[in-house]
Amino acid sequence: MRQSILLALCVSSAMALSACQKPKDEGEDVERALADLNVIDESNLNDIMLTVGDADEAASYFQGAVKSNPDRIDLQRGLGQSLVRAKRPTEAVGTWKKVVSLPGATNADRVSLADALIRAGDWDQAKVELDKVPPTHETFRRYRLEAMIADSREDWKKADSFYETAVGLTTNPATVLNNWGYSKLTRADYKGAEDLFSQSLGYDSTRFTTKNNLVLARGAQRKYDLPVIKMTQIERAQLLHTLALSAIKQGDVTTGKGLLQEAIDTHPQHFEAASRALEALESNVSNG
């Protein structure tokens, strides 16, 4: 309906103008009006596909668009972003390589290529691409990727520096703080990890992954009480289960059994995983 109204307005405007012009200009005015309308509608559709559209559907849309206009860098970018959203990183790599080869490619496009390469598991090539980005391109996304690559190489000094820079370049560093905390967790810096996970939850208290990571960091320090954080009843049961397994792993079996029972009692439904773990534990104790 909206398109029909716009089309009618554009055509009627063009016809009104033609009254003051030579007859041979009428067709040009109408074509120009229709072309403007198509640009408006295409732009809106592209934005919708990049944000609220189904990822695979968006990828199909942009694949069709770039087939007709292979040198349109905006459409190639849309395809690359859609393929990443659709969890098709190998295809996304090919698209972003096309993007960086086109006139008008930016440093941000090369960062997107590096991101796709990381998702595809090609960490070495991702570093090669990021090394091509000048140091003056200081963005949150660039430094987040730099930190992840440094982590993969166990270059902890660089990783910490990049994570710290990334945190300073965004107003909501919840995800990067979680990643940084996980990095500290893998290095057995449990106190440092706990602090970073707590900071992350201060920015976004809804992320269960971060809550679970926080409990893991505390459990590794033999802190077997749950932290004071916002959680649902189901999340509380799941976190108690995580804490129980952490205690058992460290040899604190009695504490682990108590936490498993508390997890079972807390969960509003039957907690199958915790029940199986407790049964296995009691079976091993009785057989031992």
**How much is the pTM?**
0.78
Q: Measured in whole angstroms, how far is the alpha carbon of residue 77 from the centre of its chain?
A: 17
- What letter does residue 195 receive in the DSSP assignment? H
Instruction: Calculate what percentage of the chain has a pLDDT beyond 90.
Output: 76
Per-residue HEC secondary structure of 33-73 comes to HHHHHHHHHHHHHHHHHHHCCCHHHHHHHHHHHHHHCCCCH
Give the pLDDT confidence score for residue 47 in this predicted structure: 73
For the residues 273-283, what does the mean pLDDT come to? 89
Q: How far apart are CA 41 and CA 36, in angstroms?
A: 9
Query: What pLDDT, in 10s, does the model give residues 10-62?
Result: 434 433 434 444 444 555 554 554 444 444 455 567 777 777 668 899 999 99
CA 196 to CA 127: how far, in whole Å? 25
* Segment 175-233, tens digit of pLDDT: 999 999 999 999 999 999 999 999 999 999 999 999 999 999 999 999 999 999 999 99
Count of all residues that appear for the chain in the document: 288
Q: pLDDT for 109-157, tens place per residue?
A: 999 999 999 999 999 999 999 999 999 999 999 999 999 999 999 999 9
Q: Tokens for 124?
A: 């070495």
